Amino acid sequence: MACIERNAYPSPLNYYCYPKSVCTSVNETICHGIPDKYVLKDGDIINLDVTLYYGGKVFKKKSMSLNVLGFHGDYYVGEKAKQDPDTVRVVETARECLEYAIRVVKPGTLFRDIGSSVRFKKKKNEINNESYCGHGINRLFHCFPEVPHYGKNKAVGIAKSGMCFTIEPMISLGVWKFKILIFIFMGLIIGRLRLVMGKEVHN
C-alpha cells in the first residue's frame, strides 16, 4: 500500500510469479528471498531488497517506459549478530567491496573492471558468488549490461553517462555452490556459514 499511495508499484510483485512486494533474504539465502512466517532471531542477518516503478501509468501492461528505483541493504538482527566475528566479517566485507566498486565507476569504466575491483577488495576466507551479476535497471527490471563481481570475467561494455545499473557483490563464508528453491527467482548457498549481498543502484 505504501507504494500505491505514492503513485508507485513494487517491481518484484508478480515478476516471474514472485508473490511478494519486497525480497527478504535471511542468513544463507543469496537473493530474492520470499517473506514468510519465519520470525527473525537474535543473531540472524537479513537483506532487504526494495525496488519499484515510480511515476506513470504503472497499471497498464503496455506502459513499461518507467524508471526503476531501488534500495538494498544488509542488516544485523540483534546484538548477537554484531558480536559474532564471522557475521561481522562477511557483512562488512560485502559493504567494503560495494564501496570499492562504486569508486571505480565513471564514464569510460569497463564493466569487467568493476568485477576486478571487487575481487581485489575481498579478504581471505570470503568467497564471492560467481553465478549472479549486477545488471542494467531502467525501463526493464533486469537488462544489459551484466556487471560481474569477480575478476577475470568477460563482461563487455563501457559505462556511459546516463546509464543506470546495479552493483551487488555477494559474499559468502565457505563454498559458493548454490541451488534454486521454490521459484527461479530465489537462490540458497550450500555448505557455508553466512552470505550477504551489498547492492547499489548506480546512475
Maximum C-alpha span of the chain: 50
Averaged pLDDT for residues 97-122: 86
**pLDDT for the residue numbered 125:** 58
Long-range contact pairs involving 16-25 (C-beta distance under 8 Å, separation at least 24): 16/183, 16/184, 16/185, 17/183, 17/185, 18/183, 18/185, 22/48, 22/49, 22/50, 23/47, 23/48, 23/49, 24/48, 24/49, 25/49, 25/197
How confident is residue 185, by pLDDT bands cut at 50, 70 and 90? low
Q: Which three cell numbers stand for residue 174?
A: 565457505
Tens-place pLDDT, residues 143-171: 889 999 888 888 999 999 988 888 888 88
- Is 0.95 topped by the overall pTM? no
pLDDT > 90: percent of the chain: 20
**pLDDT for the residue numbered 112:** 92
Averaged pLDDT for residues 16-45: 89
Reference 51, options 76, 26, 24, 75; nearest CA is 24
Report yes or no: 139 and 66 within 8 Å, Cβ to Cβ: yes
**pLDDT for the residue numbered 45:** 92
The CATH architecture one would assign to domain 2-202 is Alpha-Beta Complex (3.90)
CA 33 vs CA 14, 46, 50, 64, 163: distances in Å: 14, 10, 12, 25, 27
